[in-house]
Amino acid sequence: MGLDQGTELSREATDAILSRHETGVLSLARGDEPYSIPISYGYSSAEGQFYLRLVSNADSQKERFLVDSSRARFVVYEEDDPVYRSVVATGTLQCIPRDEVTTEQIEQFGQAKRPLFEIWGEEWATLDVTLYRLVPEQLSGRRIVIDREA
């Protein structure tokens, strides 16, 4: 099986991937300890920003990582055998206080559907839903083709 060197995607192709999908993997770190979680997102190609709705409780590991670091990496990927595409955004997570949420941001959050893997064994009243914006300092897309005959 051969792997080509990969191709960097244009901004338009990167935006298209991000617009097609609703979920990705958010990675945070605290010292040497990494933490990654699958989450749903909304994406504004006009702003080049992600809108994330994170659900946690008071004892949540996610909450501890969010408090310790605002630096984040977010990955969205797709597979259409033999072609793989991925987008990686690196930047700062910014909490958006509920009283400061704009109509435009609500539209972006509306695109962040709650996926099936967000299953909570608790009452919604005990959970904290916090809205975040990820402003990428770096955004890149790649396309890789696997040659299964090589």
DSSP assignment of 37-102 equals: EEEEEEEETTTTEEEEEEEE-TT-HHHHHHHH--EEEEEEEEEETTEEEEEEEEEEEEEE-GGG--
The domains found in the chain, sorted by start residue, are 2-147 (2.30.110.10)
Return the pLDDT at 6.
72
Query: By C-alpha distance, which of 35, 49, 64, 59 is closest to 112?
Result: 49
Average pLDDT of the segment spanning 103-110? 63
Question: Before 82, cis peptide (omega within 30)?
Answer: yes
* CA dist., res. 64 & res. 69, Å (int): 9
Average pLDDT of the segment spanning 14-20? 94
Which two structure tokens, joined as six digits, stand for 95? 């909490």
| CA–centroid distance for 108 within its chain | 13
How far apart, in Å, are the Cα atoms of 112 and each of 18, 102, 138? 12, 16, 21
Which two structure tokens, joined as six digits, stand for 146? 């696997």
Return the pLDDT at 140.
96
Return the pLDDT at 8.
93
* CA dist., res. 56 & res. 71, Å (int): 18
Mean pLDDT across the chain: 80
pLDDT band at 61 (very low <50, low <70, confident <90, very high): confident
Average pLDDT of the segment spanning 70-99? 91
Higher pLDDT, residue 106 or 83: 83
pLDDT at 120 over 90: no
Average pLDDT of the segment spanning 116-123? 46
User: Is the distance from CB of 35 to CB of 62 less than 8 angstroms?
Assistant: yes
